[in-house]
């Protein structure tokens, strides 16, 4: 049983949003509000509800402005527009396009498993900027499915349509809870651009192009175990 498929988290794996935090902080402090709390668990919980489609995007962003202490109606509207613009301001990591195209040429199926409230059509426009819009074999979107990682259904939603079993797939992530969710299903896990508390996976890579070596390493290990 060999590796045939690689599933990717999207944000912080294919791309990042490096200007978002600074832009939001500047907006708030320029208008006399406090800086947002780092790694706020309440914000994270509400963001995940939005990712699952339980809260509309604008409703979430309106709530977020209130959570940040923004009270002036014009500031709220300006803040929402800023959040929307920063949500679309992405920077792809080096070697992403080249690596994905090489994997595709080698016959590896590629899929997305993303917690997001940005619809696939919008992300596809981002992908077009580096030429990776037409290479995906599957796409599991939390907001469309109503399921978020690490729930098993979202990983399976990327695998079942292409007829792939978990043991034949890799999941590339940056969050420990999401990597653990994939591992429980039987996927091989790889961490990249890992969160500070993400310290455990089957493999770890520092450069995106290092993914090119992982399938052969896994298949070689499996052959040795069967020998």
Give the separation between CA 38 and CA 99, rounded to whole angstroms: 33
**Whole-angstrom distance, CA of residue 191 vs CA of residue 53:** 27
Domain residue ranges in the chain: 5-16+92-225, 19-88
- The pLDDT value given to residue 76: 98
CA distances from 185 to 139, 155, 205 (A): 18, 8, 21
pLDDT classification of 218: cutoffs 50, 70, 90? confident
State the pTM of this model: 0.93
pLDDT at 225 over 90: no
Give the pLDDT confidence of 120-166 residue by residue, as tens digits: 999 999 999 999 999 999 999 999 999 999 999 999 999 999 999 99
CATH of 5-16+92-225, one of 3.40.718.10, 3.30.2000.10, 3.40.50.9100, 3.40.50.1000: 3.40.50.1000
Beta bridge partners of 141: 114
Residue 1 is predicted with a pLDDT of 57
Q: What is the pLDDT of residues 88-125, one digit of tens each?
A: 999 999 999 999 999 999 999 999 999 999 999 999 99
User: Mind giving me the DSSP string for 50-112?
Assistant: HHTTSS-HHHHHHHHHHHTT---HHHHHHHHHHHHHHHT--EEPTTHHHHHHHHHHTT-EEEE
Q: Residue 219's pLDDT band (boundaries 50, 70, 90)?
A: confident
Q: Is 118 helix (H, G, I), strand (E, B) or coil?
A: coil
């Amino acid at each position: 049983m060999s590796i045939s498929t690689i599933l990717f988290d999207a944000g912080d794996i294919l791309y990042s949003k490096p200007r978002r935090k600074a832009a939001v902080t500047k907006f708030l402090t320029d208008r006399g509000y406090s800086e947002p709390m780092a790694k706020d668990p309440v914000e994270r919980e509400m963001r995940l509800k939005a990712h699952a489609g339980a809260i509309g995007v604008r409703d979430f962003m309106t709530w977020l402005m209130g959570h940040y202490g923004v009270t002036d109606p014009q500031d709220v509207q300006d803040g929402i527009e800023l959040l929307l613009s920063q949500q679309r301001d992405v920077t792809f990591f080096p070697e992403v396009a080249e690596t994905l195209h090489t994997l595709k040429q080698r016959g590896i199926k590629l899929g997305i498993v993303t917690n997001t409230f940005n619809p696939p059509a919008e992300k596809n426009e981002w992908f077009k900027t580096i030429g990776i819009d037409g290479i995906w074999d599957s796409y599991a979107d939390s907001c469309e499915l109503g399921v978020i990682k690490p729930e098993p259904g979202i990983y399976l939603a990327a695998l079942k349509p292409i007829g792939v079993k978990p043991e034949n797939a890799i999941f590339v992530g940056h969050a420990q809870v999401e990597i653990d969710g994939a591992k429980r299903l039987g996927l091989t896990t790889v961490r990249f651009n890992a969160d500070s508390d993400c310290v455990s996976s089957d493999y770890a890579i520092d450069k995106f192009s290092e993914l090119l070596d992982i399938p052969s390493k896994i298949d070689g290990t499996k052959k040795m175990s069967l020998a």
